[in-house]
Amino acid sequence: MKDEATGILKDYWGYDTFRPLQWDIIEAVLAGCDVLGLMPTGGGKSICFQVPALMRDGLTIVVTPLISLMKDQVDNLRRRGIRAYALHGGMSLSETRLAYDRCRLGKTRLLYVSPERLGVARFLEAAGEWDVATIVVDEAHCISQWGYDFRPSYLQINKLRSLFPEANVLALTASATPEVAADIKRQLGFRPGSREFAMSFSRANLSYVVRYDEGKESKLLNVLECTAGTAIVYVRSRKKSAMLAELLDKNGISSTFYHAGLEPHEKEQRQNAWKDDRVRVIVATNAFGMGIDKPDVRTVIHYDIPSSLEEYYQEAGRAGRDGKPSYAVVIASKADKGVLSRRLSEAFPEKEFIRRVYELACVFCDIAVGAGRETVHDFNMALFCRRFSLPAAPVYSALRILGRAGYLEYIEEVNSRARVMITAPKSELYSLSLDPATDAVFTALQRMYTGLFADFVPIEETALSLRAEVPAEQVHESLLLLGRMKVLQYIPKRITPYLYLPGDREETRHILLPKAVYEDRREAMARRIEAMKQFVFSDDTCRSQTLLTYFGESAAGPCGCCDVCRERMRATSPAEIEETVMAVLRSLPSGGSVADIARALGRNTRSIATAARALADKGLVRLDGTKITLAK
């Protein structure tokens, strides 16, 4: 079985061997067990369900909240010759029906589904005709009431379990405390014989560093000047991402910026420029990073501090995936403590404000009381806030809380690329009577894109315009005309986020915000913020140990490479180091390696090797390569 899996890995992905834990999880999935996989960023989660999907009969349903990542994975799978589809609220009815048909006929191996889709009656009715082998829950912490990104739509996954009782569940997440991991298994109804696999949260090659400076801009320049290689700088506002990228460029550090508000082609251009090393630094909001497979990022800098160690660990973990020494740097100022505290009040505005946002959002989308069930509505957040003179940050938080309470879903990620599928028989295309511009567009379309007769294919109107030698506006008009002629189905690009209502609009006075949604979640966020403060503003505990303890893992000793450990080493005399090495060796009758002793003492190997040579010169220890033993 492993040989078959390894062959699939080689044929489709080009890898000769699995990464740590991948095969263990795959083997348990193939055995029909419910499985929880805790795999930090860069661990290769997708392979854990994509390979079994090609080995088992039946469909693998993948539930994920990241619509942009969902689309990227489907596109990548199709490029590898693997049949995959996606379902989310931003799709047209025609696209949805096509995906349903492919699943019913067994013509796809993987179906990616957004969590809000699971509560739609039409989806559940269609799914009843499918042969489902495995249910995959990506970003599984979203199902836990105690996870930092709980989403009520994830609770609908139990409907899939009821619909497909023979299917096993694979839950995957990059970061989860023991409390969250236990809640994930409870919420998903893990059956007897379930398995749990966890990669260590320890990153031996990653140095966690905090730099305190009231002049953050100068410190950012200093950090980048003192380090080499590709870097990511994380900020919490779109405006700041552009501002800092400009600052870096002016100071001779090639950079670009990235945030969710950019056009798709801009995102792709900037991401590719950074991935191809044409620019060194990308300054980004947390919209950047998911699914980015660049192993040689040497430095991740947090210019703004995240609200939780889960978020921090995931973002910092994008450094050094190739195993080489790398840095995760936080630039902090005294004001950041207050900023973190204010985030709590921004994230949990007053309940009356939340109810008001619900009422105004329904008015904005023209939804009457008692109507709107299972409908999708374009929702321009900036326009909404301007129209009703509301502050953006609390409005965003109010929408999130209303989502947790099950009243609506605010979806920021949108399917912004245009899509086309030719529906007319090929025999009819030769007799079409088209004007010259439309004929040029239709000809260019068929020459540039394959698979148009079988499925909706993403297209770029700008590229079509250049190929057909007509204005971009003409491409849009020609495709609309061909749609009216029933030659093809054209779905124009969409750039506006949207609201999804799972049920009818309620009267505002009936909007209930339960304790589990508001008070309990507020308390949980307060605990996470305090843990983040402790990590950043405490300088007496190894930062790696602080992280490991938070995630329920015991550390063998100080890491020896974070700023706290390095400062401690600088304050220690050579004689004191020699004394501690002797103390360790007295507890190790057969001796130990330089690396082992360095880890135990939380020091770097160079200082231990220097101490060992000095002790050997005094005749107190014996050196055999890198092994140290007490002299007899």
Nearest to 558, CA basis, from 571, 574, 572, 569: 569
Q: What is the mean pLDDT of the chain?
A: 88
Mean pLDDT of 599-605: 73
- Which of 259-263, 300-304, 501-505 tops mean pLDDT? 300-304
Is residue 44's pLDDT more than 90?
no
Q: Are 296 and 322 in contact (CB under 8 A)?
A: yes
For residue 625, name the pLDDT band (cuts at 50, 70, 90).
Answer: confident
Strand partners, 172: 37
DSSP class of residue 332 equals: E
For residue 487, name the pLDDT band (cuts at 50, 70, 90).
Answer: very high
Nearest to 127, CA basis, from 153, 155, 102, 90: 102
Nearest to 149, CA basis, from 254, 262, 290, 277: 290
Is residue 206's pLDDT more than 70?
yes
Percent of the chain with pLDDT over 90: 50
- Whole-Å CA distances, 495 to 241, 260, 379, 411: 20, 10, 10, 12
Is residue 415's pLDDT more than 60?
no
- Residue 86, classed as helix, strand or coil, is strand
Q: Where are the beta strands (DSSP E) in 19-75?
A: 35-38, 59-63
Mean pLDDT of 76-95: 83
Which single residue is written with the structure tokens 């092994």?
627
Nearest to 520, CA basis, from 120, 60, 145: 145
Pick from 40-49, 90-99, 286-295, 345-354: least confident: 286-295
271-285 tens-digit pLDDT = 889 999 999 999 999
Which pLDDT does position 43 carry in this prediction? Answer: 67
For residue 565, name the pLDDT band (cuts at 50, 70, 90).
Answer: confident
Nearest to 272, CA basis, from 253, 251, 294: 294
- Residue 279, classed as helix, strand or coil, is coil
For residue 55, name the pLDDT band (cuts at 50, 70, 90).
Answer: very high
Is residue 122's pLDDT more than 90?
no
Strand partners, 622: 629
Percent of the chain with pLDDT over 70: 97
Which pLDDT does position 413 carry in this prediction? Answer: 61
For residue 290, name the pLDDT band (cuts at 50, 70, 90).
Answer: low
Is residue 534's pLDDT more than 90?
yes
Nearest to 69, CA basis, from 236, 287, 317: 287
Mean pLDDT of 492-500: 79
Is residue 557's pLDDT more than 90?
no
Token pair recorded at residue 493: 């690009």
Q: Are 351 and 325 in contact (CB under 8 A)?
A: no
For residue 35, name the pLDDT band (cuts at 50, 70, 90).
Answer: very high
Give me the sign of the Cα torsion angle 307, 309, 532, 350: positive
- Which of 188-197, 413-422, 460-469, 549-558 tops mean pLDDT? 188-197
